[in-house]
Structure 1
Amino acid sequence: MKTALQFIVLSFTALVFLSGSGVQSAHASEDPIRVAALLDLSGHYSQFGLETKQAMELGLSETKKIDVRFFDTKGDLKTAEQKLNEVIQQGGYTVVVTLASWISNGLAAKIKSNHLLQMAVGSAVFDHADQKNCVRFTGDVGREIQYLTNYLQSYNKVAVMYFNNDYGISWNNALKSTLGSKLVKSIAYTDTDVDFTHPLNEVKAVHPDALALISTREAVQIAKQASKIRIQSRMFGTRPTLTAPLLAEPTARGLMFSYPDLNETLPIFASFKRKYGYRMSAFGAEGYDLIKSLDRFCRHGKKNKVLFANYQNRTYDGALGRITFNENAQADYDYTICVLQNGTWGKMKR
């Protein structure tokens, strides 16, 4: 009888132990993926970083499987490196989100060497795709340029003003290659410049039919100052040229720019407008699709290499439209040409 009682007690104890272990394992498997988002939240490109953050937060409200902490890079590579060091020292992260081409490129090697998965937004120029450690949600500059040059080719003389960083230099080189002798003037500037009188006078001197601005919020000052000295060229821009101040600037009306063909029928666009009071752009779309796709693909594993593999050669329908990720997990999707009109933007009809 005593032996039987001991057997029952031992069996019950083992059952409790095993059940407890099962619960702990289940909880461990349900731990959220920890993500460090390195965004410009207060620097020159803060409009894009803040919108990306807002859209990511809306995506996070729809899942419990992802935990994101935001870090402010101020749009500066050295600051971004410092923030990445903090992330590495803290430990426990699986994914690092980077914004801006120069930051995504500058941090790629260190992110990989520390066994973290990189996810890049707002990064049309990325030189480390062959490392197979970065899921990029920004379409490549080479893809976007096809849409813009279809319009620029119809002009005999084109001038370009571009900010002197990875993004601007790549665009300028691509336009030189595509437009050939039609590109009559190319001028670089720093993205903190505010007086563009001298370069604009250089542009005016060659009498271009079109002026392409590879720029961001400084495009407002360029448009104003170009109007003041009576430059009559048709103005064009690219994805980051679109900013809230530009939408409000009368002299920028009619500016045309290449842009992702967003799927604005999705509820996220109306939700974003209700919550934040303005229309979500491509930067918000990238941030939202990052969270939603990660939420879906993490079901197959949460290790960084597994997550990367889940994006390879896959398609995802999101705010950016239908995204096709290649073998290096680099996104591709359709673009269109938009035009600024009446304080907003719309697609051009050809």
Structure 2
Amino acid sequence: MKKIALIGLAAASIIALAACGSAPGTSKGGSEKGNAIGKTFKIGLNMELSGAYAAPGNAEKNAIQLAADEINADGGINGKKIQLVVKDNKTDNGEVATVASNLTNNDKVAAIIGPMSSGGTLAATPNVTKAQVPLITPTGTNDSLTVKNDKVQPYIFRTIFPDAFQGKVIANYTEETLKAKKVLVYYDNSSDYARGILGTFKDNYKGEIVDTLSFQGGDKDFQAALTKVKNKSFDAIVLNGYYAEGGLLTKQAREMGLSQPIVGGDGISDPTYTELAGSAATDVYYVAGFSTKAPFNDKTTAFIKAYKAAYNEEPSAFAACAYDAVYMIKQAAEDGKVKNSAELAKALAKVKGLVGVTGTIDIDKNHNPVKSAVMVKLEDGKEASAEIVK
């Protein structure tokens, strides 16, 4: 999810700035209210439905449709049925900006869900901000999306926790559950994602870091560095990076006799990690936002059942986070009795106690969800168990 979230981030900022001139300003008459909510409650989808990210994008669309159907069957939002306006951004950040402009200016939506990626969200931000229409990214995780230059982006929200939050989860789990008093840290120095996790890990881990090793994206041989620390005393390996390098690193570490638990972020959650590591992916733990093996509540269980019935497959974390985005809009709109998109944005910033399928969500001052995470355990290259961690 992280690799998907971050690809194209830098290029997106240039594209987005170029496109922002086409965005709507305020509603007619110059009033600072964004788009009025009409006879239906219009929610736009700016989603990756074709192109490189089509698989997770369509999973999110499916979950959003499922949530909208449920809400409509129950009377809608403030008595108004949800009308989904679905547009494909083609996994192209230039198209993302155009779709954001069309949804806000032409379709007059009250809210937008998507893009699913951080790069796409960055590309959409200028247009939705100018239009005063809130955007919820289900799975865009880059820390700078909701806060830029120490300023909160007033119209950007998310239902997935940001990258840096994972460092806290890893620190707490490593120290409290695994009882690791000494750790070896191995991280991808070329990745903002890995560096962000490392920073908050160091801030929160109270044990000893015996050594910190780094690698670069694309590296394949980790034996020399591992040999240097092989005889040091440590209780766990904290691995911050993505699945391609992580899988090879894990395999080589196990072949060298390093049997300590390995703990990482969701950058190693991709199936490629276990394909590369094979059975060496044993006693490995990674952070996730959702797992069907660890339902948060009765609503999670019902969601898993309904999604499987509708789409003949188990829901992913992408789907679960997108589903919660719809209910986040519903709670904000009803609690705030909102009449337009600008009021909805203010109400979204006040969401507390939302019982979602990814846990109970409180939106913090930076527009990020405060909620529990899932720690998945791998044995012999397969998901053996999952547990909810605060």
Q: Which amino acid aligns with 1:319?
A: V
d(CA) in 1 for partners of 2:86 and 2:126? 21
SS at the partner of 1:61? helix
Matched with 1:92 is 107
d(CA) in 1 for partners of 2:266 and 2:90? 21
Q: Which amino acid aligns with 1:259?
A: A
Matched with 1:22 is none
d(CA) in 2 for partners of 1:42 and 1:246? 23
Kindly tell me the number of residue pairs found equivalent between the two proteins. Answer: 314
Query: Could you tell me the TM-score, scaled by structure 2's length?
Result: 0.67
Q: Pick closer, same or farther for the CA change 1:39–1:212 going to 2, 3 Å.
A: farther
Within the candidate set 49, 53, 57, 2:61 is matched to: 53
Matched, 1:250 2:269: no
Query: Could you tell me the TM-score, scaled by structure 1's length?
Result: 0.74
Matched, 1:259 2:288: yes
Deviation at 1:308, TM superposition (A): 1.2
d(CA) in 2 for partners of 1:38 and 1:155? 44
Matched with 2:28 is none
Q: Pick closer, same or farther for the CA change 1:247–1:206 going to 2, 3 Å.
A: closer
Matched, 1:158 2:184: yes
Matched, 1:83 2:118: no
Q: Which amino acid aligns with 1:182?
A: I
SS at the partner of 2:221? helix
What are the superposed Cα offsets for residues 257-286 of structure 1, whole Å, 9 maximum, x if unpaired? 233475253211122234445443433221
Deviation at 1:317, TM superposition (A): 0.8
What are the superposed Cα offsets for residues 6-27 of structure 1, whole Å, 9 maximum, x if unpaired? xxxxxxxxxxxxxxxxxxxxxx
Q: Which amino acid aligns with 2:61?
A: K
Matched with 1:65 is 82
- 1:145/1:174 contact within 8 Å kept: yes
Within the candidate set 166, 169, 184, 2:195 is matched to: 169
d(CA) in 1 for partners of 2:261 and 2:365? 39
Matched with 2:362 is 324
Matched with 2:167 is 145
Q: Pick closer, same or farther for the CA change 1:178–1:295 going to 2, 3 Å.
A: closer
Within the candidate set 295, 306, 313, 2:343 is matched to: 306
Matched, 1:197 2:220: yes
Matched with 2:211 is 184
Q: Pick closer, same or farther for the CA change 1:111–1:184 going to 2, 3 Å.
A: farther
Matched, 1:285 2:354: no
Q: Which amino acid aligns with 2:185?
A: A
Q: Which amino acid aligns with 1:263?
A: F
Matched, 1:125 2:158: no
What are the superposed Cα offsets for residues 205-232 of structure 1, whole Å, 9 maximum, x if unpaired? 3236533333454344544455456553
SS at the partner of 1:116? coil
Q: Which amino acid aligns with 1:55?
A: A
Q: Pick closer, same or farther for the CA change 1:349–1:318 going to 2, 3 Å.
A: closer
Percent identity between the two aligned chains:
13
Deviation at 1:115, TM superposition (A): 3.1
Q: Which amino acid aligns with 2:375?
A: I
Q: Pick closer, same or farther for the CA change 1:29–1:93 going to 2, 3 Å.
A: closer
Deviation at 1:61, TM superposition (A): 3.1
Q: Pick closer, same or farther for the CA change 1:54–1:89 going to 2, 3 Å.
A: closer
d(CA) in 2 for partners of 1:181 and 1:106? 40
Matched with 1:134 is 156
CA RMSD of aligned residues (A): 3.5
> Of the two, which has the highest radius of gyration?
1
| Structure 2: unaligned runs, 5 residues or longer | 1-36, 73-80
SS at the partner of 1:258? strand
Q: Pick closer, same or farther for the CA change 1:223–1:276 going to 2, 3 Å.
A: farther
d(CA) in 2 for partners of 1:131 and 1:247? 37
Deviation at 1:67, TM superposition (A): 0.7
